[in-house]
Amino acid sequence: MNDQNPVIETQNLTKTYRMGAADVLALRGVDMRIGAGDFVALMGSSGSGKSTMMHLLGCLDTPTAGRYLLEGRDVGSLSAQERARVRNQRIGFIFQTFNLLPRLTALDNVALPLLYRAAGGQGDNGTSRLDHGAGSRATGKQSPRERALAALTRVGLADRAGHRPTQLSGGQRQRVAIARALVGDPALILADEPTGNLDSSTGGDIMRLLAELHAEGRTLLLVTHDRAVAEQAEYTLHMRDGRLLP
Ligand SMILES: Nc1ncnc2c1ncn2[C@@H]1O[C@H](COP(=O)(O)OP(=O)(O)O)[C@@H](O)[C@H]1O
Ligand SMILES: [Mg+2]
């Protein structure tokens, strides 16, 4: 690990979900360090807290206690708006279920994070801004659509730019999701079981793509149940019962 310069550092990260009268202790004090450029697999049985951890690391949720430093910055001290900006500009998220918007084309799904960015990290429904090149002034030379097409080309799907998610195979949907994660040029890519809904051959294609992103210098944290997938990472972390195993 590149320990000089951790991209991720958590201290006693704790998450409790309130379920009616009962509390679910999903994370019980996780200390995690991941260096810049690392490719890390995260394994653990179902319910061990992997997705909760990924949501906190992705700034999609906030911890009950503990600290999270992203590139040295204390995420807990940020306002909701600043946190949204960090999420938008520094992090790409890839989900098991792809999470594409069904009514948008592949191109518009990929362009969406750039439109959120142009809107100041607040987000909107996006669609009305797409046709006006709203982000081009903010981002310099290329419009969001041009950058989205470049990202789709990067994952080998330029010829599917006009397709909606239902018109794509599972592997193609996940490649669109990877293009969406990539389009903002994030430092950190978080992938929660990205091959979990794919057959092994399609999953292999996705893993090759992720390995290329790592080779380009990005930091990658990947949750998987699959030992063969985990073996492609540089090292593996294990969780059990809301804790990181030593
Ligand atoms: N939104 C939620 N509300 C309540 N409990 C949750 C929620 N998300 C996860 N949990 C609980 O937290 C624990 C960890 O879940 P999760 O992080 O999804 O584990 P994993 O991804 O390793 O399967 C489980 O006991 C799960 O039931
Ligand atoms: Mg999970």
User: Tens of pLDDT along 157-190?
Assistant: 999 999 999 999 999 999 999 999 999 999 999 9
What's the pLDDT band for 10 if we cut at 50, 70, 90?
very high
pTM of the model: 0.89
The neighbouring-strand residues paired with 51 are none
> Residue 128's pLDDT is what?
38
User: Tens of pLDDT along 76-119?
Assistant: 999 999 999 999 999 999 999 999 999 999 999 999 999 888 77
Residue 180's nearest CA partner among 96, 103, 91 is: 91
Per-residue DSSP letters for 101-138?
Answer: -TTS-HHHHHHHHHHHHHTTSS----HHHHTTTTTHHH
> Residue 120's pLDDT is what?
63
Q: Which residue's CA lies nearest to atom 16 of ligand 1?
A: 49
> Residue 66's pLDDT is what?
98
User: Tens of pLDDT along 25-37?
Assistant: 999 999 999 999 9
Structure-token pair, residue 126: 């996006």
6-244, CATH topology level: Rossmann fold (3.40.50)
Q: Which residue's CA lies nearest to atom 12 of ligand 1?
A: 26
> Residue 118's pLDDT is what?
77
Percent of the chain with pLDDT over 70: 90
Angle between helix axes 80-90 and 106-118 (nearest 10 degrees) is: 140
> What is the number of helices (H) and of strands (E) in the chain?
9, 10
Q: Which residue's CA lies nearest to atom 27 of ligand 1?
A: 47
Distance 52 CA to ligand 1 centre (A): 6
| CA pair distance 130, 153, nearest whole angstrom | 19
Distance 179 CA to ligand 2 centre (A): 22
Percent of the chain with pLDDT over 90: 83
Query: What atom in ligand 1 is closest to the CA of residue 223?
Result: 21
Residue 157's nearest CA partner among 169, 139, 166 is: 169
| Nearest ligand (C-alpha, residue 47) | 1
